[in-house]
Structure formats: C-alpha cells, structure tokens
Chain A
C-alpha cells in the first residue's frame, strides 16, 4: 500500500473518491482494518479509511436509536450503550481473534461485513438493525439512504444492500442503528455428551418451545476445552441461552430443562460465566488459534450443518463447531480448503453458502472466498455494483472478480 487517506469529513472523502475516479486508481476501503483479511486480496495502491470520521452523533435511549460516524470504535459505542443499560442486540463478532489482526473494530466496518453473533438466530442480523446510512458512492457523491425510524418503506432499501457488501459498493460515512435494552438476566442450559446429529435434534426441539431461547450452539468435544478456560463439563457441550427479565427467565428455565432432560445430563451456567461463554461463541473462540489454517464460515439450514460436515469428514480432515442452532458452521481444515467439494455438499444439502473467512493470501488469491453465484444472479450483482460504482473504484475483486480483471 502506497498511501492511506483518513478523511475528516464526508466532503473530503467524496473529493478523494472523485480524484481517484479521474486517475482510475482503485481504493482499498477499510475502517479499523481488523477484518481486512476477509476476501480476495485487493490490488490497490491507495487505502481510504474511516477512522478519522469518528464520534457518536445522536443517542436517545428512549428512542432506542443511535447515529454514529462510520469510523467510531465499536468499543466506544458499546460503552455508551452499557451506560444506559442498552446493547447491540445482534451481538457483533469481533474478528480479531480468528484473523489474528489488531487495531480497533469500527461500527462502519461491522455493518460493512454484516457481522452478527449468537443472538442473530432470534434477534436478527446486523443488517436488520441498520436503519439508515450515509455513504460516498463510486461517482464521488454523498448519498443518504434509510433514516432513523424503525419502520420505513420509503423507496428502495439501499441500507440492506450496503450492509454486508464489504466496502465494494460505497464508503460508509455515517450509520444509524436500532439498539435494545440490555438483558437483565442471562442463564445457560448445557446438555453434555451429544453427538452432532443428536445435538441438532435437541436444538430444534428447544427452538420450537415457547420459551424464547435466544441462542443455541453446539461445541463438539474437540473444541469444548477452549471455552471458559476448560471449565465446561466433560464431553461435547450443547448450550442454550435464556435471557430477559428475572421472572421470565426463571419461569422458562424449568420448562426448558425438563424438555432437554431426555437428551443427556443437563447442567446450568449462571450469569457472569454465561456472558463470557457466549462472547467466546460469538468470537469463534474455538478457532482463535493463532494459525492461518483455512477456516470456513458456512451458513445453511440449521438441520443441514452437521450433515455437510459429516460428509466432508469422509474426504478431508476437518474440525467444526456450530452456532445458530447448527445453521452457522465454523469449520477449520487440516490442509486444503476443499472449496469445490464443500460447495457441492452444501448444494446437495439444500443450499446455503460458504465463505473462506481465513486463509493464507496465496489461497485467498486462487480460491473463491465468497460463494459463487448462479449466472443470472452473478450478472445481476454485477449490474448492481455498476449502478453504485461504475468505474470499479472500491475494493476491486474483493468479493467477486469483475469484468476484465486478472
């Protein structure tokens, strides 16, 4: 990288983008750079970073909405929310552990990768909480989309489109998002020793109960020791989280425990340890291992996750753990990423997608990091990209290779 720009205003950012359109020099878009290793390597000599666009602009707890500049550290946002007993309900993942990066994750970066944790299963993803954005498009124009109210169907929802677009469609300058009251009580129910198929059934059973389980994950015996400093009971751990007002959690706990008793030994983890455990699940503690061994993030129907892993195990050395009732699989490869085989298995199991979230630069340069799309969808996505970034100035090739590249 030859140079990083750190614009202090949206207008400055727009100027930089316009000058790069003129010179046809692409820009590497980033916030705190903690998730910069996700995606294909980007061939850009210049970087445009949001970290000098920082600060909370508006926060009214009674309205449950916050507006912040895109480069505001997530840590600062979470501290401000905690002070008023509120939270980001989608539990954004901190990728530093698995990617081995340092620096401060920013609120803009978090929405740019649509990063959601265990509560995504019941509370929605980052994109569901993003109400409005400001961004600079690939024409160098400052654009506003969405707003700051929870119900808004005025015009096309460009907010969702930009969320999860990994900086390939625009440079976020400001985000407005929904926040929710923090949970007064947290309890975890743990079932020990289940195989992956049994765990899938136990999780589906729990999620069908009217007890509002807010998260369900399965930590196989190969990774169990990495959580809570190896203090979880022996064997695989299938874990269920109950949250809410004290009286609610107490009432639901009994129903849940009795429904799970038939599956295996049931134990409980109380609030402080519970919170830590789910934070470790959120950040994929199992594979925050300091290596760059290929790590897949697979998103499929909850009942399909373990089947795909079982089928792949017959062909390759893999290790996996599960969140989102089994629908989010973190899978670490012993050797090759086996992208083609994995994607064939996903298709055969009813569809979904796999993202190679971590791999060496050489691997990320040759293996499709994001799920290849059907031709018609790929063509449509390319047209959408062109509608926002006609000259391909932002993060070229990070998600998909563009026409004429390489």
Chain B
C-alpha cells in the first residue's frame, strides 16, 4: 500500500552508530532482553495499525524501573529517539517504531504489586494486562472498570498512554478517571512519582496530563488504579428499530430520563448482518438499527430499570425487544457485538475510525458517514458506544488493492473532519498516533497546538519520545 503518512527522517548519526548503541545497551539490560536480530525484530515493526511498519534500531525489554531509567538516560545522552511499547495493540499506530529508535517494551514488567482492599486500589507494573487486574481482584468482589475491546492483551501502560475507554465508560469513566498514581521515568532518565492512593494529587495535575499523552511525556513503569465493588449482576436487553434515527432518539430519551445504563451499544444494518452471519446471536435482520442496553445491580433494581427502558423504547416504535432471561441469553446478546471486529475482518479488511460527536449529532453523522463512504465507492459498518457518542465506523476495503486502500484512508479522513465539524473530536479512545496526526489542525488552531507542544517540551525538550506521533511534523517548535 502506498504510504501517505510521513515519518520523521531517521537521524543518520544514530543509524550509523547502531552497533555501538547495541553494545552499550547490552550493559544496561540482560542480553536476552535486548532484541536486535533482524528476524526477531519483525513482530515489533507495527502494532494494531498494520498498514504501516518500520524496523526499529533495536528493542529493549527492561524488567525494572531502574533499567528503564538507565535506558532513557543513555538515549538522552546520545539523543537517540525512543518509542515506548506495551502489547502493541494500538489502532492508531502509537507503538509503530522508527528506524533510528530504541523501542522500550514494558511487557516483561507484568507483576501486580499490591491489592489494597480497604482503600480499593491496585498497584501494578505497566506491562500488566488490563483484564488481569479484574481477574486478580475478582475473587475479593472487585473489578477494574475501563474495559477496552483488546483488554485480554493490552497493557495498563498502553491504556494510560491512550487514556483508553471501553464499553462501560458511560457509567465508570475512562482510564484517567480511574487512575490514582504513577511511577514514571522522564526523558532524561529521572524517576518521578505522581499521585498515589489519595483521591486527588497535590500541585498541578501532571497525572491528568500524562494520561493520554501517547508516550510523549515519559515512560510509565508502575500505576495505582482504583478498583470498584463488582455489581451483583448485569443484564442486557436488545432492541431493534426501523431506522438509525429512531435508535438515536431512543438513546437520548433514555439518558434524559435519568437512567444511566452501564452500556448502550449501537449497530447498523450492515454491522448486524455481518455479526449475525458470524455469531448466530439471534439478531433481527429486518431492522435498520439495533441497541444493546445493559444495566447493573440487584435483581429488583435491574428489573425496575429495564422495564423503564423498555417503556421508553416503545415510544420510539421499537420493532424487536429481546430480554435476557438467563446468563446464556445475556451472553448471546453480547456475543454478536463482541465479535463485531473479528466478524468484519472475516469478510473484508477494514479501518476503524474513532471520532466522538455530541449525542444530538449522532443521526446526522451516521447518515453523512454512509454518504461519504459510498461516495468513495466503499461500504461501511457502524458499531459503537452510543451512550457517549464515540463512533466506530468500519470502512471495508481490500488491503491488497492500492486504489481501494487510498479511498478508504480518504473516506476515513472525511469522516473525522465531519466529526470535528459536528462539534466532536478526532479520537475518543484510540489516540492520535500517526493515523490522525495530520488532521490535528482540523481540530485545533495553531496557537492551541503550539501551547500543547510547549507543554510537551517541558517534559521532553529534545523531542525524543515517540516523536513522529500526535503533532503534525510541520510547524513544530525548533
């Protein structure tokens, strides 16, 4: 595929010293924790944004904060670019390396250090996977709330980098709302701690700044997160509507009624067909849109909330109502939704967009998205978190057809511009990475971007950390 997104030109003095650098780094991490063999580097060439790949200078897999500090100190001294990496599941290219960069991959730092039930916190190393926190605290009746789709694989460090969300953030918020503290290493190798077990941190909210900074402000090595009491039960209900507009209006009405479900998921006709063919979840095929609404609590609570929600849906001409009477039926309702990306991947290649729009703009943006994509001669399936306006149109194309690939990228850019024009933003939970970097000027004025970059430079004056990402390459401060 022809690349339209540029990377910075690799630093020649770094490339020419590759052997020296590798020899030096061997002194800083155990030999088996330094990857430099060409073939062994292949898995690190890209992340979840597979259309782009770059072979890094080498990959270091530190086991301690001290090793991360030593690596960064060395790279800072010789001005060697660094790309932090967790599990490499980024959908925006946030972990894609560069030829002159040392990748610092935290996957070996995967220990849960402490679970503090009385204060409801867990302190973990950055390479711990998202789901393993809930697995660990589950027996004590707790869970960790942010649940990105990749939660089986993605790491907490990556979640902090991208401020990850998930299906349940309507009620529980995203990573930044559940993060209490970090230990991190700055670009020059200095180790700092921000926050802790207290609910707010003193001084400037540097923790809030670090969360979602896409590995540009430092490398997080440990995190303290909030864990919550697990609700007694959760139960979804499935609604089929004649049109996406009816479904969108129903979402607004549910929220206006004062009920905040834990999740409201939306699928359009194309997505329903794809998921049903794959998962046989029993989704109705004769509807224009489907909502999965989930509530939590005791039996009595859930029953009361679901009945209110069903009554609201009836006001919008709902065609199908499917309540789950058992855990099996609940699982079936979710099965189709959860397999959406996999099922789509089976019939075509796709790029997944991530713009967020104000709830009142959902119908308009959905309609225009369809027009934009068909205008480029492609198809689109929409599956997304309707309660928070975070849309995920999947643009279907053939990755081996360079023309189609170009069209898909163009359609994606048009959709993101549409989201910004509708009062929304480029990315709700996947991050800017390289994917949306060159669109930043659609959302921000020059002074806004310069201000962000000045703050970035307060952390990393030499622009060594993940330097090709987030900010457009043109117009960076000298």
Contacts and interface: CB of A to CB of B under 8 A. Distances in A.
Contacts of B430: 153
B125 interface: no
A390 to B, nearest CB: 9
A247 B300 contact: yes
B426 interface: yes
Nearest to B197: A301
Contacts of B436: 154
Interface stretch (B58-66, B101-109, B451-459): B451-459
A158 B428 contact: no
B252 A62 contact: yes
Which range holds the interface residue count of chain B? 35 or more
Interface string B266-292: 000000000000000000000000000
A61 B350 CA distance: 35
A34 interface: no
A141 B451 contact: yes
A268 B440 CA distance: 53
A209 B300 CA distance: 16
B425 interface: yes
Nearest to A349: B197
Contacts of A327: 119, 198-199
Contacts of A245: 258-259, 301, 304-305, 308
A151 B423 contact: no
A365 interface: no
B428 to A, nearest CB: 4
A63 B200 contact: no
Contacts of A163: 205, 208
Contact of A142 (B208, B443, B447, B455): B447
Nearest to B454: A387
B138 interface: no
A128 B452 contact: no
A147 B423 contact: yes
A158 B458 CA distance: 13
Which range holds the interface residue count of chain A? 35 or more
A144 interface: yes
Which label, helix, strand, loop or mixed, suits the secondary structure of the A interface?
Answer: mixed
A141 B208 contact: no
A353 interface: yes
B5 to A, nearest CB: 17
B368 interface: no
B121 A301 contact: yes
Contacts of B162: 153
B194 A207 contact: no
Contact of A152 (B252, B300, B428): B428
Nearest to A327: B199
B194 to A, nearest CB: 7
Interface string B382-396: 000100111000000
A328 B198 CA distance: 8
Interface stretch (B6-14, B226-234, B337-345, B397-405): B226-234
Given A149-B389, A154-B425, A181-B258, A380 B186 contact: yes
Contacts of B202: 299, 352-353, 355, 370-371, 373
Contacts of B426: 154
B358 A148 contact: yes
Contact of A380 (B177, B431, B443, B458): B458
Contact of A209 (B229, B258, B388, B454): B229
B125 to A, nearest CB: 19
B118 A204 contact: yes
Contacts of B308: 245
Interface centre among A152, A164, A182, A184 (most CB of B within 10 A): A152
A381 B203 contact: yes
B190 interface: yes
Contacts of A374: 192-193
B148 to A, nearest CB: 12
Contact of A147 (B169, B259, B300, B424): B424
Interface stretch (A19-27, A96-104, A117-125, A218-226): A117-125
Interface in A228-268: 245, 247-248, 250-252, 255
Contact of A157 (B198, B208, B427): B208
B476 to A, nearest CB: 14
A335 interface: no
A18 to B, nearest CB: 13
Given A200-B118, A351-B198, A376-B192, 15 more contacts: A114-B205, A149-B390, A151-B356, A151-B388, A153-B432, A154-B432, A154-B436, A155-B452, A159-B208, A160-B209, A208-B140, A210-B229, A247-B304, A328-B199, A376-B191
Interface of B: 116-121, 140-142, 162-163, 165, 169, 173-174, 176-177, 186, 190-194, 196-209, 211-213, 229-232, 252-253, 255-260, 297-298, 300-301, 304-305, 308, 356-360, 385, 388-390, 423-432, 436, 440, 443-445, 447-449, 451-452, 454-459, 470-471
* A-B interface, 3 closest residue pairs, ranked by CB to CB distance from nearest: A160-B208, A353-B202, A181-B258
12 contacts: A62-B255, A62-B360, A63-B359, A64-B359, A147-B424, A151-B389, A208-B140, A210-B229, A303-B118, A377-B203, A381-B206, A386-B458
